[in-house]
């Protein structure tokens, strides 16, 4: 899985797309890994742009939870932005919207984490 | 086969409070404006169209489920506090006439055995109770909870013929005309799921079971265990977020994982079970609605029917 990354206003914006399910979760985690390694105190926070994510299953949500735990352990910050309506529903039903920082738009997330 | 639920609450029994009853009455009466309620029939019709969380109650007994197979011998899954009203049901049906009861234990935690000292058939001479378990300490656990100073009637005073049958997971057994197999599950001290097949319908009872959603081999093994079941009674105590974060390793699962496993297994019905004791009826009803929506969002094949267990629910297969 290819991730697009760019530094905007001191925030590492990482964009992904497709399905983060049984087939897509491991490639997603592997692709995110180098950005997570740098997500620590004094370094840019990560905003995951989910506008292109079509679906996320439990294994994909677990990958997000592990990313969140790693970033938190390193005193880094990570947030997710621009969920599609379907993915937003999955976040709400699974209560991931109560555990992770989720913002309606990338701009909102950058503003909050800047 | 008929499945009747006598205890559906997780971890500890709960009871309806005065505040909860009052809230239900206020909701029901608030919606009655302009409704003609002058006759008993009109009142009944009004109550019957209210939603379950208002007019009903998911109940508070801990795990106990009855399988009715049509045979002479009785099948019980776990001995939570729901075993007490189940005992009354059996006595009402059979009185003192000797009966044979097969009890299948998921595990030996207190909420799953606490109803046994109140299971009246155990006190009646001529009855036979066979307690099937994959835990070698089953007899010790049952005897210990009735020993002084925990209970006034020692296990040795029970007059039924009570036997413990220790089974192995992964093997097929024939019990009371059913093909029965067990599967080891993630839970403190281990728990076991049970699969029952009477040749016409399959019921899977899988409670107190945590699933590591990152373990694909485990996922496939559970899908095989649930394969084409007519009913999967599933531990959905927590949200997925809680189950893999703050409540990781607490030994329970979520509605999301239940739907995914049942879809993978091409099961027909998923019954949410072992409800969180802190949840009220509105919260459990909301989880049911959300789970149905999640099933719609993720459906690729035949629809999976979603139910939420309540004390008194009957499911005919």
Predicted ipTM > 0.85: yes
Contact across the interface for B260 and A58, Cβ inside 8 Å: yes
Does A1 have pLDDT greater than 80?
Answer: no
* Phi–psi pair at B276, nearest 5 degrees: -55, 125
Over residues B7-65, the pLDDT tens digits come to 999 999 999 999 999 999 999 999 999 999 999 999 999 999 999 999 999 999 999 99
Over residues A16-51, the pLDDT tens digits come to 999 999 999 999 999 999 999 999 999 999 999 999
Contact map slice: B 273-302 vs A, CB within 8 A:
290-291, 293-294, 297-298
Q: What is chain B's mean pLDDT, rounded?
A: 97
H-state helical runs in A2-114: 25-37, 58-73, 85-94, 106-113
Q: Report the distance separating Cα B107 and Cα B130, nearest Å.
A: 15
* Rg of chain A in Å (alpha carbons): 13
Judged by DSSP in three states, B145 sits in helix
Judged by DSSP in three states, B210 sits in strand
Over residues B255-294, the pLDDT tens digits come to 999 999 999 999 999 999 999 999 999 999 999 999 999 9
Q: Report the distance separating Cα B175 and Cα B177, nearest Å.
A: 5
Over residues B112-132, the pLDDT tens digits come to 999 999 999 999 999 999 999
Environment class of residue B120 by beta-carbon count within 10 Å: exposed (0-12), middle (13-18) or buried (19+)?
Answer: middle
Q: Report the distance separating Cα B60 and Cα B280, nearest Å.
A: 10
Tell me what the mean pLDDT of segment B288-302 comes to.
96
pTM, to two decimals: 0.96
Neighbours of B166 (CB within 10 A): 13
* Rg of chain B in Å (alpha carbons): 20
Contacts 24+ apart (CB under 8 A), A15-18: A15/A48, A15/A49, A15/A51, A15/A52, A16/A48, A16/A49, A16/A50, A16/A52, A16/A53, A17/A52, A17/A53, A17/A54, A18/A52, A18/A53, A18/A54
**Residue of chain A with shortest Cα separation from B261:** A58
Contact map slice: B 155-214 vs A, CB within 8 A:
213-214
Per-residue burial over B244-273, b if 16 or more Cβ lie within 10 Å, else e, is bbebeeebbbbbbbbbbbbbbbebbbbbbb
CA atoms within 13 A on the CB side of A51: 12
Q: Which is it for strands B231-235 and B269-273: parallel, antiparallel or unpaired?
A: parallel
**Residue of chain A with shortest Cα separation from B242:** A95
**pLDDT at position B279:** 97
Over residues B141-195, the pLDDT tens digits come to 999 999 999 999 999 999 999 999 999 999 999 999 999 999 999 999 999 999 9
Q: Is B240 on the interface with A (CB under 8 A)?
A: yes
**At a CB cut-off of 8 Å and minimum separation 6, what does B295 contact?**
B259, B263, B270, B303, B304, B306
Judged by DSSP in three states, B18 sits in helix
Q: What is chain A's mean pLDDT, rounded?
A: 96
Tell me what the mean pLDDT of segment B244-253 comes to.
95
Strands of the B191-197 sheet, one edge to the other: B173-175, B178-185, B191-197, B202-206, B231-235, B269-273, B305-308
**At a CB cut-off of 8 Å and minimum separation 6, what does A42 contact?**
none
Judged by DSSP in three states, B141 sits in helix
State the pLDDT confidence band at A2, using cuts at 50, 70 and 90.
Answer: confident
**Chain A residues touching residue B300 (CB < 8 angstroms):** none
Over residues B216-244, the pLDDT tens digits come to 999 999 999 999 999 999 999 999 999 99
Which of B210, B211, B213 to mutate against chain A (most A CBs within 10 Å)?
B213
**At a CB cut-off of 8 Å and minimum separation 6, what does B265 contact?**
B222, B223, B224, B225, B226, B227, B228, B229, B232
**pLDDT at position B167:** 98
Q: Report the distance separating Cα B61 and Cα B4, nearest Å.
A: 13
Distance of residue A58 Cα from the nearest chain B Cα, in angstroms:
7
* Phi–psi pair at B123, nearest 5 degrees: -95, -5
Residue with tokens 């009246």: B120
Q: Is B245 on the interface with A (CB under 8 A)?
A: yes
Neighbours of B296 (CB within 10 A): 12
Q: Report the distance separating Cα B223 and Cα A52, nearest Å.
A: 30
Contact across the interface for B241 and A86, Cβ inside 8 Å: no
Contact across the interface for A65 and B241, Cβ inside 8 Å: yes
Q: List, in sequence order, every residue forming a beta bridge with A56; answer none if it has no partner.
A: A20
Q: List, in sequence order, every residue forming a beta bridge with B178; answer none if it has no partner.
A: B175
H-state helical runs in A4-53: 25-37
H/E element, B294:
helix B281-298
Q: Report the distance separating Cα B251 and Cα B107, nearest Å.
A: 12
Contact across the interface for B293 and A22, Cβ inside 8 Å: no
**At a CB cut-off of 8 Å and minimum separation 6, what does B1 contact?**
B67, B68, B69, B70, B196, B198, B200, B201, B203, B316, B317
Over residues B63-119, the pLDDT tens digits come to 999 999 999 999 999 999 999 999 999 999 999 899 999 999 999 999 999 999 999
Tell me what the mean pLDDT of segment A70-84 comes to.
97
**pLDDT at position B96:** 85
**Chain B residues touching residue A90 (CB < 8 angstroms):** 294, 297
**pLDDT at position B60:** 96
């Amino acid at each position: 899985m290819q991730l697009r990354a760019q530094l905007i206003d001191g925030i590492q914006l990482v964009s992904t797309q497709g399905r983060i399910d049984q087939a897509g979760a491991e490639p997603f985690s592997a692709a995110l890994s180098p950005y997570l390694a740098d997500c620590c105190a004094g370094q840019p926070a990560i905003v995951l742009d989910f506008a292109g994510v079509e679906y996320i299953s439990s294994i994909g949500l677990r990958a997000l939870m592990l990313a969140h735990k790693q970033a938190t352990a390193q005193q880094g910050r990570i947030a997710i932005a621009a969920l599609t309506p379907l993915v937003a529903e999955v976040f709400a039903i699974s209560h991931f919207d109560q555990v992770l920082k989720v913002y309606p738009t990338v701009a909102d997330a950058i503003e909050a984490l800047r | 086969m008929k499945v009747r639920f006598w205890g559906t609450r997780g971890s500890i029994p709960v009871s309806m409070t005065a505040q909860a009853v009052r809230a239900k009455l206020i909701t029901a009466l608030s919606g009655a404006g302009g409704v003609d309620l002058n006759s008993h029939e009109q009142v009944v019709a009004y109550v019957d169209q209210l939603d379950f969380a208002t007019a009903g109650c998911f109940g508070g007994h801990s795990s106990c489920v009855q399988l009715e197979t049509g045979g002479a011998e009785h099948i019980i899954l776990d001995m939570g506090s729901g075993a007490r009203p189940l005992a009354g049901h059996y006595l009402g049906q059979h009185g003192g006439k000797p009966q044979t009861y097969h009890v299948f234990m998921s595990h030996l935690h207190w909420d799953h055995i606490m109803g046994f000292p109140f299971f009246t058939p155990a006190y009646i001479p001529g009855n036979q109770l066979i307690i099937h378990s994959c835990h070698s300490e089953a007899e010790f656990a049952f005897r210990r909870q009735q020993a002084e100073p925990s209970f006034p009637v020692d296990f040795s005073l029970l007059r039924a013929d009570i036997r413990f049958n220790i089974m192995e997971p992964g093997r097929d057994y024939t019990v009371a005309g059913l093909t029965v197999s067990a599967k080891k599950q993630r839970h403190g001290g281990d728990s076991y799921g049970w699969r029952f097949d009477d040749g016409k319908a399959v019921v899977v009872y899988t409670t107190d079971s945590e699933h590591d959603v990152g373990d694909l081999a485990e996922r496939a093994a559970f899908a095989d265990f649930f394969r084409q079941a007519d009913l999967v009674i599933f531990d959905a105590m927590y949200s997925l977020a809680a189950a893999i974060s703050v409540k990781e390793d607490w030994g329970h699962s979520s509605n999301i994982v239940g739907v995914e496993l049942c879809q993978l297994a091409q099961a027909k019905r998923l019954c949410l079970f072992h409800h969180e004791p802190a949840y009220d009826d509105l919260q459990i009803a909301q989880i049911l609605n959300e789970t149905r929506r999640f099933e719609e969002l993720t459906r690729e094949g035949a629809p999976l029917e979603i139910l939420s267990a309540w004390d008194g629910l009957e499911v005919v297969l």
